[in-house]
Amino acid sequence: MALLTIQDETATGSILNQLELEIAQETLTVRDLIAQRVQQEVAAYNRRQSGVFNGLVQPTQSERVLNGFRLRQPKPIDVEEQLYKALEGFQQNGYFVLVNNRQVESLDEEVWVGTGATASFIKLTPLVGG
């Protein structure tokens, strides 16, 4: 099993969050990479069910806070709903993904994520007033 380092970054390169993801195989599709990331972050939040959810996409019925999202009512997050939002966000250019410093273009693209690999999720923010 390999450990993949994942960083959430802004378009200017500021690191918002960093996590390590255990990956069983050395290559997977971008869709599978996103799915594994979402499943692990939702499972970690659901185990504790309190505090701030620091994930790829904002859960339903939550508000943005300084370091993530706070649910209005503490409850488990639905992993299927989060995965749908994450995949939709990728397809609608809400964020883009660099794997080993190369931008991936589609959910079906296969990428190498073996030992020493990195993945950066670059979150884009909508322009205000434009």
Q: Which of 7-16, 35-44, 100-109, 119-128 is the least confident region?
A: 119-128
In sequence order, what DSSP letters do the residues of 80-91 get, joined into one string? HHHHHHHHHHHH
Contacts with 117 (C-beta within 8 Å, 6 or more apart), sequence order = 2, 4, 5, 99, 100
Is the Cα dihedral 80, 84, 85, 89 positive or negative?
A: positive
> Of the candidates 29, 23, 37, 10, which has an alpha carbon nearest to the alpha carbon of residue 117?
23
Question: Model confidence over 63-120: pLDDT tens digits?
Answer: 888 778 888 888 899 999 999 999 999 999 999 999 999 999 999 999 999 888 999 9
Domain limits of the chain? 2-123
CATH of 2-123 among 3.10.20.30, 3.40.640.10, 3.50.50.60, 3.40.50.2000: 3.10.20.30
pTM tops 0.75? yes
